[in-house]
Structure 1
Amino acid sequence: MTSSLDLAALLCSRLCHDLLSPVGAINNGLELLAEEKDPEMRQRCIELLEQSARVSADKLKFFRLAFGAAGGFGEMVPTDEPRALIGALVAANERLQLDWAVPLGSLPKPAVKVLLNLAAIGMDALVRGGVLAVAAEMRDTAKGKVTEIAMRASGPRVAFDEAIGRALDGTLAASELSGRTAPAHMVHLLVAQEGGSLQVAHAPDALVVGVTLPAPDGLIG
């Protein structure tokens, strides 16, 4: 079994990996700016610095809520927040399009974390671009109210690592976990902790992950 400390270390590795490129671009841009004398090229360097800084900030905000304690310590998180975070990362890649279908004003925090991590998995799978569709709703069942979350990544080539699939369903050995598979393992742990269920379907042109979580006791709406 993976300890909380091990998982935290792996999630930090994933965060560092994702920030390495934009932060490196900022460093390179500053070096070029210090040497460049042409006004037009200096302006171009400044634009690239602004773009890289924006991407870095967007990723930090995303992972702060996906992995950490952002959103406060209450049970519910306004859905405008995850929508803005996912939208910012999608907007940074001109080959991606976001289809957001979450009519609810807020979601339980575990559901938001699951939603964000599934969205990240979907974006990683769309190596040649495509549509990232994210949906969530609450409905009543015989066992009580549940939150249903669905992520669909569709495009000309959807790359889905088998290890991520095994991390999602809990069959990946602790010794095989890495920064790449840690977010999927976190989703598995969240779903198991909440007493929910998870299903995955993968085809060459689509990846679909569905999660059902029991809603918190006393939740209205």
Structure 2
Amino acid sequence: MNISPTDFASLLCSRLCHDLLSPVGALNNGLELLADENDPAMRARCLELLADSAKASANKLKFFRLAFGAAGGFGDMVDTREARTAIGGLFGDGHRVELGWMVEEETLPKGAVKVLLNLALIAGDALVRGGRLDIGAETIDGHVEIVVRGEGPRIVLDDELRGALGGTAGDTITPRAAAAHLARALVTENGGSLQISPPDAPALMFGAVFNAA
């Protein structure tokens, strides 16, 4: 599947706007309620909702800046603690997803961090009823190895995402598959391969191996 850089940038922007619409909309609704509310208890509740929505918006922006953007410049190493914080903000408190972090490397190449974050995003989204998300990565002999495992009572990875990750997608993709396309592109451009567990597997697993440079 070939897609122009301009079209792909549009897909990423659409994905970002879609994910931010809910928390930003909640902020707007909360402000409207606060303006018309005089009861102290209800005003306090409105402020709590505003704080939650603001935190959710900030967490999503931090994650997408690292997963999709050019945070830290080009060709740099990235502190893996930033990646852990970004994933925790997206799927941690209140999201019914338990995180397991098995990354001992203090830094990873930016491309590797992007692959890790985008695979974690896809796996976390697939845990529609919550569960556990385990993430591991290490550098061995000039290669980065990444494993992401999602387990929960219900796992949904639709055919579009599976096709984008496996390189069997059609000529067009939608914004929801942008993360999958980006992860595969980064892996293949660096001489690597990406594996996906079969649809009938009890857990969802992604594995990627590619050059660390």
TM-score of the alignment, normalized to the shorter chain, above 0.5:
yes
Q: Deviation at 1:33?
A: 0.2
Runs of 4+ in 1 over 4 A off after TM superposition: none
Per-residue CA deviations over 1:126-164 (Å, capped at 9, x if unaligned) read 000000111001112xxxx21100100100111111110
Aligned to 2:146: 149
Contact 2:103–2:136 at 8 Å: present in 1 too?
Answer: yes
Write the distance in 2 (CA, Å) between the matches of 1:59 and 1:124. 13
Give the letter aligned to residue 51 of structure 2: E
Aligned to 1:53: 54
Sequence identity (%): 56
Aligned to 1:201: 197
Contact 2:161–2:180 at 8 Å: present in 1 too?
Answer: yes
Q: Among residues 178, 184, 187, which one is paired with 2:180 in the alignment?
A: 184
Contact 1:152–1:206 at 8 Å: present in 2 too?
Answer: yes
Write the distance in 1 (CA, Å) between the matches of 2:122 and 2:99. 14
Contact 1:159–1:204 at 8 Å: present in 2 too?
Answer: no
* Range moving further from structure 2, 104-113 or 85-94: 85-94
Secondary structure (helix, strand or coil) at the match of 2:99 reads strand
Paired residue total: 211
Aligned to 2:65: 64
Write the distance in 1 (CA, Å) between the matches of 2:212 and 2:11. 28
Contact 2:188–2:210 at 8 Å: present in 1 too?
Answer: no
Secondary structure (helix, strand or coil) at the match of 2:175 reads coil
Residues 1:211 and 2:208 aligned together: yes
Write the distance in 2 (CA, Å) between the matches of 1:169 and 1:204. 16
Secondary structure (helix, strand or coil) at the match of 1:147 reads strand
TM-score (norm 1): 0.92
* Range moving further from structure 2, 67-76 or 148-157: 67-76
Secondary structure (helix, strand or coil) at the match of 1:180 reads helix
1:1-221 aligned at under 5 Å gives the runs 1-140=2-141, 145-175=142-172, 177-202=173-198, 203=200, 205-216=202-213
Root mean square deviation, CA, Å: 1.1
Write the distance in 1 (CA, Å) between the matches of 2:41 and 2:183. 47
> Which stretches in structure 2 are left out of the alignment for 5+ residues?
none
Write the distance in 2 (CA, Å) between the matches of 1:204 and 1:24. 37
Per-residue CA deviations over 1:155-199 (Å, capped at 9, x if unaligned) read 011111111011012211222x00111110111111111111110
> Which stretches in structure 1 are left out of the alignment for 5+ residues?
217-221
Write the distance in 2 (CA, Å) between the matches of 1:95 and 1:69. 30
Q: Deviation at 1:81?
A: 0.4
Decide whether aligned partners of structure 1 residues 35 and 205 sit closer, same or farther in structure 2, where only a CA change above 3 A counts: farther
